[in-house]
A and B are shown apart, each in its own frame.
Chain A
Amino acid sequence: MPATPLVKLRNVTKRYGSGQSQVTALDSVSLQVMPGEVVGLLGPSGSGKTTLLNVIGCIAEPSSGWMMLDGDIVYDSRWVMKDLRRLRREKIGFIFQTHNLLPFLDATENVMIALHLNGVKTDDARKRAKALLDYLEAGHRGDAMPGELSGGEAQRVAIARALANTPRVILADEPTAALDSERAAIVMGLLRKVAREQQAAVLVVSHDDKIFALFDRVFRLRDGKLTEEQVMLAGR
């Protein structure tokens, strides 16, 4: 039996403004991402990559279209699911260009917060956070505050936070932009590992040519339209 796509968009359009000042950020975008896939979203600035990520992350409401996440119809010309934050908490992991760690929590607590929000008790959350940090080879920095972490360490902590609740969909916005080639490759390797092991769908917005080869597929966007879908070497 063929696997069900974890992310499926059909003719999703997103417009900002109204009248003559209306801008179409996404124009009838249709795509799907399968479990275990790492997909790249590429395109020049203003092409709609981040808007697409916001729509899939249920942060921005589409203007029209249809969207399904992990088998649940989320949007069908209107939000079908009402508690979007719960959806994000339970099913979506976000990784940012800047790690966006909470500066007043140490590395372990930054991971724990995602678990806390899902109702995991402190002791269990701490064990899980430490295990994740160890898995991402950042366990030795668990007590460090974000300001004390290097860019690579902070990004690994951010990834640990994104993975804390075992999300089905991981959305990463330029996760390697602040990293050197070696670290970028490590981060992408981690995402690939997570996608395979957790059977999660990973969508990565990137400008970084060096990591193209690490995607299973690449979607190219221009002026809000999906212009090209390319199967990469890693995906064959």
Chain B
Amino acid sequence: MNLGLRDLTHNLGRFIVTCLGIGLLLGVVEGMVGIYRGLVDDSLALSRGAGADLWVVEDQRQGPFAEVSRLPRDIRDGIARISGVSDAGAVTYQSVQAIAGGLRLRLFVVGYEPGRLGGPPILIAGRPIEQSHYEIVLDQSAQLPLGATVRLGRHDFTVVGLTRRQVSAAGDAGAYITLLDGQVLQFEMEPPAARNAVARGEPPADTNTINAVVARLEAGGDVAAVAGAIRRWKHLEVLTQDEQEALLSKAFIDKVRKQIGLFATLLVIVATVIIALIVYTMTLDKVREIATLKLIGAPDRVIVGMIVQQSLALGILGFVFGTAYVNVIAPYFPRRVVLLTSDASALAGVTVLACLAASALAVRYALRVDPGRALAG
């Protein structure tokens, strides 16, 4: 006979409402961890999407995502000729405020050379860029259909293809355009600014620059050897894909991880305190029953078991409810929420530990209840 569960089912309505409350808290914890996972995925998506083994950037720079990097475009040809490199592409990256359908839209624009490395890794609709100018492949998170017009800088671009999961660390949708358009967008000044610069005697700006060269090695190629060769002969900085991801993680995710970790920890503590108070209050309500059980000879383990079972039931049902609702609402979050079974399992474990800790106060109280209180009128 499970006394704890029998007591809970006796006050089923109150128990379920309490579980819902705890579930809301635990769901928020799970959601925050999911947001963090989404953030990690998002921040690495573009660098992974490029399909590169090496990232060649300006010397002494940690570009192109963590720092500014500017290279002459012809560097790409030099990299492509290095022994061990099978393919190389020039790329530009920048965040822009675009206008689509009269609305402002924040995009992370990738300029790439069609047919070379650096383009969208997958198309889920439409076609790749085929013309030299004014075509764009967008991430589906921009929620624009094929054929839509997007204004970037001084030009209108037509959406010809859609890709997926290509977003920046900030969650901005990725937008792929030709390198030529990317260079214009990034390096060409507005006409009035250019006229002012010429009037001041400045030489015309060189717009044939790029942010990085992405390179893929031949099968079985030695990443370290090729990177070393580029550094030695080209005087450029080279990052391997792993180094790029580590840099992105450190630059963009580390603080967010700590912040989300702190909030998640605080929420778990709050949930623990709430469970502790609820279980303690439930125990206070049962003083006479506990005294009666002691009086008729119930050993401590029966009483402790009753309290711990109730605490665990609250936490576990709350966790189940929280997991269910966060899975239902996750697709509607403005950012991608990645809910992993491993994270849910870890939270379940933490919840169980929190419930055990939460029941400690009530157990302590219950063990001190004088069985003689059952005899009091």
Binding site for B on A (CB under 8 A): 50, 53-54, 57, 59-60, 85-90, 92, 94, 96-98, 100, 102-105, 109, 112-114, 116-118, 122, 161, 173-174, 177
Cα distance, A114 to B289, chains bound together (Å): 13
Is B34 part of the binding interface, using a Cβ–Cβ cutoff of 8 Å?
no
Best-surrounded residue of A54, A89, A100 (most CB of chain B within 10 A): A100
Is B124 part of the binding interface, using a Cβ–Cβ cutoff of 8 Å?
no
20 new A-B contacts at CB < 8 Å, known A86-B299, A89-B298, A102-B293: A50-B375, A53-B375, A85-B298, A86-B297, A88-B295, A89-B296, A92-B297, A94-B375, A100-B288, A102-B3, A104-B6, A104-B7, A105-B1, A113-B1, A113-B3, A114-B296, A116-B1, A117-B298, A161-B296, A177-B377
Cα distance, A103 to B302, chains bound together (Å): 17
Q: Give the Cβ gap from B94 to chain A, nearest Cβ, in Å.
A: 66
Chain A residue nearest to B6 (CB atoms) is A104
Task: Pick 10 A–B contacts, CB within 8 A, sort by A.
Answer: A57-B295, A85-B294, A88-B295, A100-B374, A104-B7, A104-B11, A112-B1, A117-B296, A174-B377, A177-B377
Q: Is B292 within 8 A of A59, CB to CB?
A: no
Residues of A within 8 A of B298 (CB): 85, 89, 117
Q: Is B1 within 8 A of A109, CB to CB?
A: yes
Q: Which one, A87, A98, A103, A118, contacts B377 given CB within 8 A?
A: A98
Residues of B within 8 A of A109 (CB): 1, 6
Q: Give the Cβ gap from B346 to chain A, nearest Cβ, in Å.
A: 34
Q: Is A59 within 8 A of B295, CB to CB?
A: yes
Cα distance, A102 to B302, chains bound together (Å): 14
Chain B residue nearest to A53 (CB atoms) is B375
Q: How many residues in B have their beta carbons less than 8 Å from beta carbons of A?
A: 24
CB-CB under 8 A for A103 and B372, given A116-B1, A117-B302: no
Residues of A within 8 A of B118 (CB): none
CB-CB under 8 A for A173 and B375, given A104-B9, A104-B10, A109-B1: yes
Residues of A within 8 A of B374 (CB): 94, 96, 100
Q: Is A85 within 8 A of B297, CB to CB?
A: yes
Q: Give the Cβ gap from A84 to chain B, nearest Cβ, in Å.
A: 9
Residues of B within 8 A of A85 (CB): 294, 297-299
Q: Give the Cβ gap from A99 to chain B, nearest Cβ, in Å.
A: 10
Q: Is A117 within 8 A of B297, CB to CB?
A: yes
Q: Is A100 within 8 A of B6, CB to CB?
A: no
Cα distance, A121 to B144, chains bound together (Å): 68
Interface string of B269-297 (1 = CB under 8 A from A): 00000000000000000001100111111
Q: Give the Cβ gap from B12 to chain A, nearest Cβ, in Å.
A: 11
Q: Is A102 within 8 A of B289, CB to CB?
A: yes
Cα distance, A57 to B294, chains bound together (Å): 12
Q: Is A54 within 8 A of B297, CB to CB?
A: no
Is B174 part of the binding interface, using a Cβ–Cβ cutoff of 8 Å?
no
Q: Is A59 within 8 A of B1, CB to CB?
A: no
Q: Is A60 within 8 A of B7, CB to CB?
A: no
Best-surrounded residue of A53, A87, A88, A102 (most CB of chain B within 10 A): A102
Cα distance, A90 to B298, chains bound together (Å): 11
Q: Is A103 within 8 A of B10, CB to CB?
A: yes
Q: Is B375 within 8 A of A105, CB to CB?
A: no
CB-CB under 8 A for A105 and B297, given A112-B1, A117-B302: no
Q: Is B296 within 8 A of A88, CB to CB?
A: yes
Chain A residue nearest to B296 (CB atoms) is A114
Is B318 part of the binding interface, using a Cβ–Cβ cutoff of 8 Å?
no
Is B119 part of the binding interface, using a Cβ–Cβ cutoff of 8 Å?
no
Is B161 part of the binding interface, using a Cβ–Cβ cutoff of 8 Å?
no
Residues of B within 8 A of A97 (CB): 375, 377
Residues of A within 8 A of B299 (CB): 85-86, 117
Is B182 part of the binding interface, using a Cβ–Cβ cutoff of 8 Å?
no
Cα distance, A122 to B370, chains bound together (Å): 28
Is B371 part of the binding interface, using a Cβ–Cβ cutoff of 8 Å?
yes
Q: Give the Cβ gap from A38 to chain B, nearest Cβ, in Å.
A: 19
Residues of A within 8 A of B1 (CB): 105, 109, 112-113, 116, 122
Chain B residue nearest to A178 (CB atoms) is B377
Q: Give the Cβ gap from A228 to chain B, nearest Cβ, in Å.
A: 24
Q: Is A94 within 8 A of B377, CB to CB?
A: no
Among residues 355 to 371 in chain B, which have CB atoms less than 8 Å away from a CB atom of chain A?
A: 370-371
Cα distance, A57 to B1, chains bound together (Å): 26
Cα distance, A103 to B289, chains bound together (Å): 8
Cα distance, A29 to B9, chains bound together (Å): 46
Cα distance, A85 to B375, chains bound together (Å): 16
Residues of B within 8 A of A103 (CB): 10, 289
